[in-house]
Structure 1
């Protein structure tokens, strides 16, 4: 075995240290802060990989193209203003960071995807944070940029265009691993729109005054967590998607739907709150094998509208409170909405619990034959208080076999679950 003498050990260590500096020292030395005093695009072209371009207060002309892994850092009063055509900032490099900027002035053509910030496929791992992105057609378009992060931005869309002509606050296409979190999004068409993607996370966003707060299309294995939708047409729309987790979100004063499923399968909907009177707290259309548990559904015209052959859905532990119609289901099949001895809480269920186990002594049926008649023939409302209808209601209560099928909760809860303390918001 060869043994190094002490002076030889020192020489070897020196060689290793020199090699380290040769391999890594140049990059560290090259990375520097650049204070821009002239044209911003020229400074970006002259910057080296890893540089930080620091901007003082003022207005800088766009459009800008970033083709190197650099950062643009602004403080108060830094405005990047586009020409009104195309994108304001286009990113075609990984490792880019944009922070502390006000970005405005994109083009207005959806055909060319005009955006405040456009992250191309090359923009892997780009970070867009702490910006104000105002009055652009699309706020941030994550177009195939894997692992991109859009975080803590204020995004305001257009108000001077018809809804179908507007762009989305954040739009994601085929960008696995992209994260959209902590943003405040208002106006435009949809708050966050994603299509043909997977493994995305949308969390802690506040979205208001748009069409859909979060809109999923053909996107799988993703999470929507702790977002707030306020005053939108629809809160959370999950369409043609599978294995999505919808957890801890709130729909407040949305107008049409709190949560919508359309051809959505194997979705988990847990611990969400829909309050403030949309037409339907949850609408389920042709969606199968979903788990809908421990949600608060309150103050809607319809608690859950369930239709179009949806099968094998697990709906338990939810609180249906003060909905004008708790459930609307037009069908002849029996649907059991309890599992392992635990059903849902129904505010209109006048029942007893003689053994004190927290479960009603009687099963609960939210609908009867007269409901189905009225849904099929609305003009029949004129006969609601007629002797014939009253006789029909009595017969159904005395002879349950007369029920035509529908939702049954065999283990209705007597109290609202503790984690759903509720008051009108």
Structure 2
């Protein structure tokens, strides 16, 4: 009974606060001419409207529920002095601003917008430029980061930050954002139940998306293009990766997607195009790879050690230099009903699958793993003879590694 009464009291308080909320205008000629002053004077659940102009402010602290909106795209210039806005309250909305010139430090992760131990926040339709960290969520939950544009000018990893960072944050939607020219486009650590959808992460120094120790996360319909090392998903489980595009991630240590110590996850209907390595898997188990396109990559899929009980089914392997690279002599993964552009078998009963199994691992890929300099022999007659002999009598590749039912036509999904 006491608990019910306390809930009723809280609801009544919130309704009263919302109904009595006031609106404050901020402009150069208004009674209140700075954002910090407006925040200080505002009551909980008030609305602050900031008119067009440039406001040279930093360390704006928000400790009460507020809606702060920019009209005419006002600019908040931090003058490289530190953090610009820090939110330490539930129910805060920040929308319609351009934030520039975040401070840079080797000891403090200054951000344009930081949310600390708060919930029900909404950070949307902002533009962030000349930054250290962009949007930093620290032990935050049940919020949204929507339709923001984040553009850094990162040159070196050691003095640059991430575009959107989540640390110990749960149940957050990150959607419709564009992030470029920072260290990691989107970074998650110890963050569960995160939805990352319809973002563009391009031209970043290191990873387009990087997350570690984060479970039950979903990322869908994102574009990761021309990032220094592609995308990395590490030490996590129950991850769903669907309908993403991984494109033009080139370099000696670059891949479309690095999977390291991942279990019980799925990779479905993604496109891997023109990457040094489409997917690199290390310590991956109980994962399904279904209906993905691997096109024009150096290596479509590179499987390293401790990968087992994974299923590759109904994927298209199209004109890659190497469709599959495999370390070790034991195969504990299943490859069936995939389309391989290098398959030249026949289908006498016309059921759509080849009558001859396909061995996707070429001996030359095994050789280049051991001796990288051997790549200069690519396309030579010598490599053709090597690959043919390995198909006839497998010696270096796992004898059971084959697609027993290769598709005769490209799979449409």
Shift of the alpha carbon at 1:386?
A: 6.1
Aligned partner of 1:33 among 23, 29, 43: 23
Partner of 2:279, secondary structure, is strand
Equivalent position to 2:119, from 105, 119, 124: 124
Corresponding residue for residue 262 of structure 2: 264
Aligned equivalents of 2:76 and 2:300: distance in 1?
46
Aligned counterparts of 1:404 and 1:94: Cα–Cα separation in 2: 56
Do the aligned partners of 1:331 and 1:406 also contact (CA within 8 Å) in 2? no
Map 1:219-258 to 2 at 5 A.
219-255=214-250, 256-258=254-256
Alpha-carbon distance in structure 2 between the residues aligned to 1:102 and 1:374: 49
Residue 88 (structure 1) aligned with residue 84 (structure 2) = yes
Q: Residue 68 of structure 2 is aligned with which of 72, 81, 85? A: 72
1:336, distance to aligned residue in structure 2 (A): 4.9
User: TM-score scaled by structure 2?
Assistant: 0.88
CA contact (8 A) 2:315 2:338 kept: yes
Q: CA deviation at 1:265?
A: 1.5
For residue 112 of structure 1, give the secondary structure of its aligned residue in structure 2: coil
2:232 & 2:174 partners in 1: Cα distance?
A: 17
* Contact kept in structure 2, 1:217 and 1:238, CA below 8 Å: yes
Pick from 289, 300, 308: which aligns with 2:305? 308
Structure 1: runs of 5 or more not aligned = 1-18, 420-425
1:336 and 1:408 in contact (8 A); partners too: no
Check if 1:209 corresponds to 2:203.
Answer: yes
Q: How far has the Cα of 1:167 moved from its partner?
A: 0.4
Within 5 Å, give how 1:3-42 maps onto structure 2: 26-36=16-26, 37=30, 38-42=33-37
Cα offset, 1:404, TM superposition: 4.9
Q: Deviations over 1:306-340 (max 9, x none)?
A: 011211111111111000111111211135533xx
Moved more, 239-248 or 59-68: 59-68
**What's the TM-score once normalised by structure 1's chain length?**
0.86
Match of 2:129 among 110, 134, 147: 134
Match in the other structure for 2:281: 284
The 5-angstrom pairing of residues 65-214 of structure 1 reads 65-121=61-117, 123-159=118-154, 161-210=155-204, 211-214=206-209
Check whether the contact 2:359–2:391 (CA below 8 A) recurs between aligned residues. no
Number of aligned positions between the proteins: 392
SS in 1 for 2:237: coil
User: Kindly tell me: are residues 96 and 25 of structure 1, through their superposed partners in 2, closer, same or farther at Cα, counting changes over 3 Å?
Assistant: closer
